[in-house]
Amino acid sequence: MTDTPLIYAHRGFTNNSSIRENTMQSFRLAFQAGADGIETDVRKTRDNQLVCIHDESAETLGLPGLIGEYTHKELSEASPGGGESLPLLGEVLARFKHRMRFIIEIKEHDCEHMVVEQLLLQNVAIAEEQVIVSSFIPEVLYKIKLINPNISTALLVKSPAGSLKKMKAFRCDGVHPFFEQQRSAILNFLLPAGMKPFMKKAMKNGYQVIPWTVNNPKNMERLFAKVVSGIITDRPDIAVEVRQQFL
């Protein structure tokens, strides 16, 4: 991992526009904004394709039921993203592998072999840590390590309680702790109890710490000053400006 904290665009960058997250457009905007990488979510379709989408429900695409109940073609035809089809993970890797890093969040079980297969198929630089596989499900990350121990993994956590033990037990290389929360119509950023000492201890123990979703410029400053490995943000444009003062 580079010494300079990296900036990952959370599901791409929509710039407060009508562009839908987790689309080629949002990933392209992230690159143009100066992000070092993109964070995206993956789920498996009925025809065993890995699509970049966050929600388990297909309602965001105007369909009843779950994402896994549809083929990629059916989901793409229903996609409201300005005529843009729902991207496959392989397509995203192929398009941006020479320009960006990736955080791939696996949202469900039984996707692990398919994710590794796509990374190898697209010649992503696993050894150079161009990709991090993350998940809230530690068993998923452990399975990734069993398939290919060279792939960097990170546990997503909303609470620090017991997280260090899980990270060690499931052979994680890093942690992506929940850092900010938006509440009501006013931006209120709350740090979960115990998160600061947890992050400090994780860094001391050699884990890569990349908090999410950091949108407040003051919090960006604090985290860059602490030399975290990076941040995941909805505002890579702002993060790039804030990071300049630390370079």
Domain ranges of the chain: 6-246
Give the other-Cβ count within 10 Å of 231's Cβ.
Answer: 28
Contact 214, 239 (CB under 8 A): yes
Q: Which amino acid is at 126?
A: I
Confidence band for 89, pLDDT divided at 50, 70 and 90? very high
pLDDT per residue as tens digits for the range 172-201: 999 999 988 554 334 445 567 789 899 999
Confidence band for 1, pLDDT divided at 50, 70 and 90? low
Quote the pLDDT of residue 247.
Answer: 74
pTM of the model: 0.94
Output the CA–CA distances (angstroms, integers) from residue 228 to 63, 70, 218, in the order listed. Answer: 40, 39, 15
Quote the pLDDT of residue 127.
Answer: 82
Tell me how far apart the alpha carbons of residues 3 and 139 are, in angstroms, rounded to a whole number. Answer: 29
- CATH number, span 6-246: 3.20.20.190
Is 228 a residue whose pLDDT tops 90?
A: yes
Of all residues in the chain, what percent are helix, strand and coil, respectively (each to 5)? 35, 20, 45
CB neighbour list of residue 190: distance below 8 Å, 6 or more residues apart: 180, 181, 183
Quote the pLDDT of residue 181.
Answer: 59
Q: H/E element holding 225?
A: helix 217-225
Residue 133's DSSP bridge partners are: 104, 153
Q: H/E element holding 163?
A: helix 163-169
What are all long-range contacts of 139-142, with beta carbons under 8 Å and residues at least 24 apart?
A: 139/109, 139/170, 140/106, 140/109, 140/111, 140/112, 141/170, 141/171, 141/172, 142/170, 142/171
